[in-house]
Structure 1
Amino acid sequence: MRRRLAPVATAVMVLSSICVTPALAAAVSAQDTMFVKAAHQGNLAEIAAGEDAQEHATTECVEKVGAVLVRDHTKLDADVKLLAGKLNVTLPGSPTAEQEKELAAVQAKAGTPAYDAAWLKSQEAAHTATLALIDQELSAGENSEVKAAARSARPVVAMHLDMVRGGECHAGKDAGKVRAGHSGQLAADDSSLALAGVASLAGGGLLATCGALWFLHNRRRSAERR
């Protein structure tokens, strides 16, 4: 009986180590923590800037871009908050002092054509910095979930940058809505969603396999006691 069950026991040991790997990989490095906090503050700053543009811009184009920023960064931030809660990362309650100072400087020109130009220039700089932050996380981050969030948010931020690039307004660059709960994936990105679904199914299959082998392991132990 023991000889016949030995291979099963070996398989249980191997797959048990695979099953605990995700838990071990969930460590949050200083880089990962910094990114989650900075992403949240960036989202807050972009939401505030977008709302301000809807109120004070003198052109319809800038108003539309402001609305896109509010729409997308609100959904991006919802995902960031969920991730922060899962990883026990405490988020700041407001944008950085520098971000608030930058918006105040733009607001000083409210209601004039100078406002629109200043707002576009400010948003170009902000989204360029955000892309650099994302790329830093992708190259130096360690937590797979944080890196996945950065990777999914990147095309959204890049789209926003295209809408304000060169200090000019391009509201027509809006490629689509962001799906809530998918860390910023664009609705048009069906291929990425399909891959995510396959990965999810694969993960479920692994869990099922681990459960089955654990059951066989328990049966082996019971048989040995007889």
Structure 2
Amino acid sequence: MKTKSIALGLLMALSVTSVTFAQQNSGMAGSGSTNMVGKESKSAFDRMNQKGAAAVSAIKPTSAKLSSADQDLMMQVAKGGMMQLEVSKIAVQSASSDEVKQLAQAEVQEQTGLSAKLKEIADAKGVTLPSSPDAETQAMVTKMQGLSGADFDKMYVQESGVKGHEKLDAVMSQVKSSASDSNLKDVAKAAHPLVKTHLKVAKEVVSKMSGGSTSGGSK
């Protein structure tokens, strides 16, 4: 009887623990504290980023020379991407929200891949792209370095997440509609969907902030 009592007690304890664990997991899933980026699950967001990176990586550069108009478009894409990359590197280190960190990390990965592909294409065509951030980017970096906590998160998501992607969205649309070079059109076709995704997610994060909370909390 004593053995049966001990076994029954263990079963009851395990049952209570399992229910409690399930409730905790349910609560976490509902709040999306570390598993959501905007309204996307972290896993779905990761899949979108991987798909975009693969599409960019698959582009095969040609040696066809660029027109002056196409060179200008390439420079716009490169400069916009460099700004996104530089400020996102800071956000990965300095954001106080896990959700903002995830957004920044995805942006670093996207722009690192896009920058490498643009350079590959430029080299094949004999074009020299900027190798360092311009004055506007440097000013933004300096401003961000003076902020911390929620103020930093808000500025990063609004300036890079929303405004930065709105600019890239417009440039990518222009490339798709007016560029004559096939490589540039391929870049826009591959990268534009992810630019739109990051813009949408950034707007969702801003909406959460406006509602008085950022998913992920503070460090």
What TM-score do the two structures reach when normalised by structure 2? 0.61
Asked if 2 retains the 8 angstrom alpha-carbon contact of 1:106 and 1:118, the reply is yes
Asked if 2 retains the 8 angstrom alpha-carbon contact of 1:41 and 1:94, the reply is no
Give the equivalent residue in structure 1 for 2:140: 102
Distance 1:155 1:96 in 2: 26
For 1:81-136, what per-residue CA distance to the aligned partner results, in whole angstroms no more than 9, with x for missing partners?
11001111111112322122223222221x22111111111011011001111111
| 2:166 pairs with 1:128 | yes
Asked if 2 retains the 8 angstrom alpha-carbon contact of 1:58 and 1:113, the reply is yes
Runs of 4+ in 1 over 6 A off after TM superposition: 169-172
Asked if 2 retains the 8 angstrom alpha-carbon contact of 1:138 and 1:151, the reply is yes
Give the equivalent residue in structure 2 for 1:69: 107
Q: Which has the higher contact order (CA 8 A, sep 6+)?
A: 2
Asked if 1 retains the 8 angstrom alpha-carbon contact of 2:166 and 2:199, the reply is yes
Give the equivalent residue in structure 1 for 2:203: 165
Query: Are the structure 2 counterparts of residues 155 and 41 from structure 1 closer, same or farther at C-alpha, using a change threshold of 3 Å?
Result: same
**What residue identity is the alignment partner of 1:41?**
K
Q: 1:55 aligns with which of 73, 86, 93?
A: 93
What TM-score do the two structures reach when normalised by structure 1? 0.60
Q: 1:114 aligns with which of 139, 145, 151?
A: 151
Q: Which structure would you say has the larger Rg? A: 1
Q: What is the percentage of aligned positions where both structures have the same residue?
A: 24
Asked if 1 retains the 8 angstrom alpha-carbon contact of 2:78 and 2:129, the reply is yes
Give the equivalent residue in structure 2 for 1:185: none
Unaligned runs of at least 5 residues, structure 1: 1-22, 173-226
Distance 1:168 1:76 in 2: 28
- The count of corresponding residues between Structure 1 and Structure 2 is 148
